[in-house]
Amino acid sequence: MNEKTTAELEHLRGLIDGVDQQLLHLLRKRLDLVAQVGTVKHGAGLPIYAPQREAAMLAKRREEAKNMGIAPQLIEDILRRLMRESYLNEKDVGFKQVKKDLGSVVIVGGKGQLGGLFSQMLTLSGYQVELLDKDDWQQADSLFSNAGMVLVTVPIAITCELIREKLSQLPADCILADLTSIKTEPVNAMLEAHSGPVVGFHPMFGPDVGSLAKQVVVVCHGREPDKYQWLLEQIAIWGARIVEAEPERHDSAMQLVQAMRHFSTFVYGLNLCKEEADIDTLLQFSSPIYRLELAMVGRLFAQSPELYADIIFAQQDSQHAIGDYLDNYREALELLKRGDRDEFIKQFQTVAKWFGDFAPQFQRESRIMLQSVNDMKTN
């Protein structure tokens, strides 16, 4: 069915189209300027993400918007989206190579998801990258003999065994690093297998991030940090934030951040599946927050079952955290069964107090996300 219109409406729409076209020309001009910034940063070896410049620029534009009767959040949303585009485009220029005399980087598991991303980032930074995947072991000796760094990014379940069995004869000054989602056992295995520099990383993002700007990479120091300091600088040039952690502290945080979260997401999906819920109907009746939640759950099932099984099963200790969750669920269900609304409200208030200032902060943050979710609706 055609949407209704009038001549006056059409006239005004024509004027709006004209303004939008001017906006497109301005966007082109801005993207060209940003590309020049990218080239200058590349030459100077500066990180693509400059938090202070970003904050100062946003504050100025918000102020100017206010003076012009424009909602400050509007210009902030537009500029943040433009900056994201800039981070993606800055990748096309490549990145400064911090370590020029490294030799090659051998990525073990380099044909996989995360290996592919790191291969791309290292290649864009001028390193000679060699991929060693499961069918390439006959070339291992020749690849390792020229390696300045070996980066392990194979499925979690085989990581430690592979390190012990296949990576104990690397050149003494070669850096041995990994990207595994858990850290204690892989870092220990690397320290046992190799006497040279060792470092563990956990990129806190999936392979589908367009840019590393503002992403977090956890680093667990192993041995001889001065030998791989350049790599931390390289990762910072890609725009990521390095967070240092002891492997044990990392793994204990991951029990809640990963094992527990992925497990409850898995059960949520399992439950929808067993209940034979109709996703189209759910979406039709969904509030933005429910749509976001469904997207988060559905996203899990678009990824590798092996990866998530490994993350959950590799951390046997998380059974306790998951068990506690189940107990709390059961107790809360008892409140419901006996109709104890007052106790529910009391517990709600206890948890709200525990969240403290984070609760309103999360409400503000999620409000902006939910508006984006709503913007994406097409009917």
* Binding residue for ligand NAI, selected from 72, 94, 155, 225, defined by CB under 6 A: 155
- Give the binding-site size for ligand NAI (rule: CB under 6 A): 24
CB under 5 to 8 A by kind: which of ligand ENO, ligand NAI, none does 299 bind? ligand ENO
Query: Residue 299, interface with ligand ENO (CB under 6 A)?
Result: yes
Residues in Cβ contact with 207 at an 8 Å cutoff, skipping those fewer than 6 apart: 113, 114, 116, 117
* Contacts of the segment 249-257: beta carbons below 8 A, 24+ positions apart: 250/182, 250/183, 250/184, 250/202, 250/218, 250/220, 251/182, 251/183, 251/184, 251/315, 252/317, 254/181, 254/182, 254/311, 254/315, 255/315, 255/317, 255/318, 255/321, 256/321
Instruction: Choose from ligand ENO, ligand NAI, none: what does 156 bind? Cβ within 5-8 Å by kind.
Output: ligand NAI
Is position 185 an interface residue for ligand NAI (rule: CB under 6 A)?
Answer: no
104: helix, strand or coil: strand
Half-sphere exposure of 351 (CA within 13 A, CB side): 8
Q: Which of 245, 187, 189, 259 is nearest to 217 (CA)?
A: 245
- 108 touches ligand NAI (CB under 6 A): yes
Q: Is residue 109 a contact point for ligand NAI (CB under 6 A)?
A: yes
Task: Calculate helix-pair angle for 72-93, 51-67, nearest 10 degrees.
Answer: 150
Q: Does 154 bind ligand NAI (CB under 6 A)?
A: yes
Q: How far is the CB of 105 from ligand NAI (least distance, A)?
A: 15
Determine, following the binding rule CB under 6 A, whether residue 13 of this chain makes contact with ligand ENO. Answer: no
State yes or no: residue 305 binds ligand ENO (CB under 6 A): no
Is residue 298 near ligand ENO by the rule CB under 6 A? no
CB 130 within 8 A of CB 143: yes
**Could you say whether residue 77 binds ligand NAI (CB under 6 A)?**
no
Among 204, 267, 309, 322, binds ligand ENO (CB under 6 A): 204
8 Å CB contact between 166 and 137: yes
According to the binding rule CB under 6 A, does residue 112 interact with ligand NAI?
yes
| CA atoms of 164 and 191, how far apart (whole Å) | 10
Q: In this chain, which residue has its C-beta nearest to ligand ENO?
A: 206
DSSP label at 134?
A: T
> Binding partner of residue 179 among ligand ENO, ligand NAI, none, CB under 5 to 8 Å per kind?
ligand NAI
| 206 in contact with ligand NAI (CB under 6 A) | yes
Residues 305 and 242 sit within 8 Å (Cβ to Cβ) = no
- Which of 97, 113, 195, 347 binds ligand NAI (CB under 6 A)? It is 113
Q: Could you give the angle at the alpha carbon of 153 between the alpha carbons of 150 and 159, nearest 5°?
A: 95
Q: Which of 200, 203, 222, 247 binds ligand NAI (CB under 6 A)?
A: 203
111 lines the binding site for ligand NAI (CB under 6 A): yes
Question: Residues in the site for ligand NAI, rule: CB under 6 A?
Answer: 108-109, 111-115, 133-134, 153-156, 158-159, 162, 179-181, 203, 206-207, 304, 307
Question: Residues in the site for ligand ENO, rule: CB under 6 A?
Answer: 181, 204-206, 299
